[in-house]
Amino acid sequence: MFQKRASALVVLLLSTTAVTLTNAPSFAATEVEIIRDNWGVPHVYADTAYGVYAGFGYSVATDRLFQMEMSKHTSLGTVSEVLGSEKLGYDIGTRADFDHADIKAQIEALPSEQRDILRGYAAGYNKRVAEVLADREHLLPKEFSDLGIEPTVWSDFDVAMIYVVTMAGRFSHYSLELDNAKVLAKLEKEHGKEKAKILFDQMYWLEDPLAPTTMPKEQEPQKKADLNTLLDGTRFSALLDKTVPGGDEARPRASNLWILGPNKTTDGSTILMNGPQFGNFNPSYVYSIGLHGGGFDLTGSTPFAVPNILFGTNGEIAWGATAGPLDVNDYYQLKLNPENPKQYWKNGAWQDMHVRSESFKVKGQADVQTDVYESDYGVVSQIDLKNNTAYAFNRSWKGKEIQTLMAWTNSTKAQNHDEWLKQAQNVATTINWYYSDKNGNIGYVSPGYLPVRQKNHDERVPALGDGTMDWTGIRPFADVPKTYNPVQGWIANWNNRSAAGSVANFEATPWGAADRVDEITALITQKDKLTPEDVWEINEKISFLDINARALLPFLLKAAEKLPSDDARLPAINILKNWDSQMVRGDNGRATSPAVAIFQGWVKVMVQKVLTAKKAVIDPTAAVNRISRATQVLRNALLGDEAGIKQEFDFFEGADKNEVMLTALTKTLAALSKEYRSDQPEAWLLPLDQHVFQTKNYRGILQTTENNKIEVGTNMNRGTQSDLITFKDGGVSVCMVTPPGQSGFIDPAGKKSKHYDDQVKLYDDFECRPQAFTRADVEKSGVETIKLTVE
């Protein structure tokens, strides 16, 4: 799995004056050393945190200048300034969500030693910008000329905003409540209030006690009592003809992870394997770095080169992360004053909204001014003057974005579990954190500021914004899900439920008895102990699976057990019996087995026949990379009384379930025969996508030109990167793959860096590259040393 190259060491001495910002404090000249390894990964050495982060910023600007410039516009809500009015709507929404003045105030309140991290990063970044602008002919990335723009200098605010929007915003700023409310209103319109409540509870449950959890359950799960809340879909009827945010498909659900303690491995090692699923992009979503000095001593990687290193080790401990599962937000429904829609009713009186003005520069046209309306519950949207309603988005973590960033950054300095957990207490956004150390300890915590909600607040739908459902505080850190050295000796997560109980509920997310984490746990538990190779190979074994197969296929195969030997459906059944659930793309661009088309076709027919035809009004998507709501609801219907959610409404309407499944198979086979113009199953090979590294970032904003899209192999349901951190015999080793490559640099003539895409084959082959931690190992792998002075 390890790849090595030999190269000569090159030393460059740089001492040009750094760009300084207006009103920025003056710092003494700081000496920085950067050693790049044979994969282009920089390892930064300096005496202070300011210097270390200056080296970080300088390296990022060297490798990813255009990507980071566009990330800055994405985060600040200034995309239309460079791309025109097409992106103005995006900018308006981003500025509404994140008040620049609020973030700046948080930065101003930081202790100097913490603010130095942001200032140092900006100073190093700006030093490289100055060098680029002084030698455009050789150093200006081609995309700048293609777009007709130039790189800009950064402030500590700009550095912080990359984290605020790409991490806090992307993974904590969301809610399913408006979409849930719209579904409830649709159900009431179609079925009446009583039946609608039954259907809603059956499809939008808060907790399925059979759902696997990351925090091990201490006892057999018990079925929960019905919710004691009054659902009223008519309250949301005005949403029926509106587009609302949310929905199960929109919820962030990125990343998988497994950790094995020394009692679970054959060689007594402790292994942390993380695959953060941010999406696949060129340049890479993640950036690898080593930071040494000023209290930091680590190697790892992080998304969008944010200051907090999300994945890595400091030699004593290692850490990782997956998307957060806690409910830290709520929508509140506001009643507007018909005489003055800038007022809303709360606590028996009309309350004034706060109005914030935003100005936008738009390429090719005059500046645009907008107003943002804010209530006690947050930013106001979905303003409906006809019905005198609006919705406000309340975030428990608002005003704590920078506190969270610094806690995360400081956690990378922790030397043991207690120090690491102490930093987690200051994380306000929702995130899953994972831990291992050189002494064989493993752990998990899901931090976040969980609101204390009123008893009559049904968190599946928006609360009343009249003062009767206000939060009464934040739950203590002791309540959040966590485990340390679980008896089973391992921890696994693939965005499944964090723990049992109300603390882990999230707005009716469809966590149920079927979950893709089962694929990981099945491989971990099939042996008493796993070799390091076994641990690594889990990744490849799960990356091509049709996740629905484990959940639904056994029902169909059992239904077919009594088919006569001459039944025309038996050839298809036998194909499914012998299928390994893998979806692999052959040289012809199609699946290597007809089972893929047969099974996926059957699932779609079942969803339509059992759910959609009964006016279930839920999203019929049966995603193959996870268990979607439609799949989970269908499976519960098949389980009947054995389901964790009470099946009060019979989706099969008394029909024999086996016959329904077999009839659906008949319909599927007929459709496939027609589609492929053949009655032979061997011809039914479904076209499969390649694995594509997109040229636009996660918000659809370009970060390189379209012609730089990269496509390889078969689409994989795996991490944007893969990192394996192993503690053994008192030492630590790191093996990572962060495709396409460390660098995104294309010179003015169109020549790409040698590290532009040199990790694509590693990734496609499920291999990884070593990433050094100790100075001795860094020097062994080093091919270039840069020394610079930053002020």
Instruction: List b or e across 204-243, with b for residues whose CB sees 16 or more CB atoms inside 10 angstroms.
Output: bbbbbbbbbbbbeeeeebeebeebeeebbbebbbbbeeee
Asked whether the predicted pLDDT for residue 222 surpasses 90, the reply is: no
The whole-number pLDDT of residue 229 equals 61
User: Sign of torsion, CA 648 649 655 659?
Assistant: negative
In a domain, 299, yes or no: yes
CA distance 233 to 252: 26
- Whether residues 298 and 149 share a domain: the answer is yes
Give the CATH number for residue 625. 1.10.1400.10
CA distance 279 to 720: 6
In a domain, 482, yes or no: no
Which of 683, 704, 719 is the C-terminal boundary of a domain?
A: 683
- Residue ranges of alpha helices (H) inside 475-594 are 517-525, 532-543, 548-559, 570-577
- Look at strands 286-293 and 42-45 and give their pairing: parallel
The whole-number pLDDT of residue 25 equals 59
Residue stretches of the annotated binding site for Ca(2+): 177, 327, 330
Give the CATH number for residue 117. 1.10.439.10
The whole-number pLDDT of residue 435 equals 99
- Whether residues 36 and 163 share a domain: the answer is yes
CA distance 444 to 432: 7
pLDDT more than 70, % of the chain = 95
- Whether residues 747 and 666 share a domain: the answer is no
Average pLDDT, integer, range 446-459: 97
- Whether residues 745 and 654 share a domain: the answer is no
Which of 683, 714, 732 is the C-terminal boundary of a domain?
A: 683
- Whether residues 755 and 667 share a domain: the answer is no
3-state secondary structure of 159: helix
Q: How many other CB atoms sit within 10 Å of the CB of residue 754? A: 13
* pTM, full prediction: 0.95
User: Sign of torsion, CA 465 467 469 475?
Assistant: positive
In a domain, 237, yes or no: no
Contact 505, 457 (CB under 8 A): no
Q: How many other CB atoms sit within 10 Å of the CB of residue 280? A: 21
- Whether residues 752 and 623 share a domain: the answer is no
In a domain, 643, yes or no: yes
Average pLDDT, integer, range 528-532: 98
- Whether residues 64 and 152 share a domain: the answer is yes
- Whether residues 638 and 772 share a domain: the answer is no
Give tens-digit pLDDT for 535-572.
999 999 999 999 999 999 999 999 999 999 999 999 99
Q: How many other CB atoms sit within 10 Å of the CB of residue 513? A: 21
Which of 683, 702, 730 is the C-terminal boundary of a domain?
A: 683
Asked whether the predicted pLDDT for residue 227 surpasses 60, the reply is: no
How many domains is the chain built from? 2
Give the residue numbers spanning the domain of 99: 30-171+294-307+741-790
In a domain, 516, yes or no: no
Q: How many other CB atoms sit within 10 Å of the CB of residue 639? A: 18
The whole-number pLDDT of residue 137 equals 97
In a domain, 566, yes or no: yes
The whole-number pLDDT of residue 363 equals 97
The whole-number pLDDT of residue 589 equals 98
- Whether residues 163 and 300 share a domain: the answer is yes
Give tens-digit pLDDT for 11-56.
334 433 333 333 455 567 899 999 999 999 999 999 999 999 999 9
- Out of 59, 255, 375, 436, the active site residue is 255
In a domain, 225, yes or no: no
Sheet strands side by side (includes 317-323): 10-14, 782-790, 30-37, 42-45, 286-293, 296-303, 311-313, 317-323, 431-437, 442-445, 482-484
- Whether residues 783 and 646 share a domain: the answer is no
Give tens-digit pLDDT for 647-706.
999 999 999 999 999 999 999 999 999 999 999 999 999 999 999 999 999 999 999 999
Give tens-digit pLDDT for 621-649.
999 999 999 999 999 999 999 999 999 99
As given in the structure block, the two tokens for residue 56 are: 């970080």
- Whether residues 672 and 747 share a domain: the answer is no
Asked whether the predicted pLDDT for residue 236 surpasses 90, the reply is: yes
Q: What is the mean pLDDT of the chain?
A: 95
> Which residue matches tokens 């799995």?
1
- Whether residues 642 and 749 share a domain: the answer is no
Average pLDDT, integer, range 471-486: 98
Residue 255 a catalytic site member: yes
Contact 778, 43 (CB under 8 A): yes
In a domain, 154, yes or no: yes
Contact 529, 265 (CB under 8 A): yes
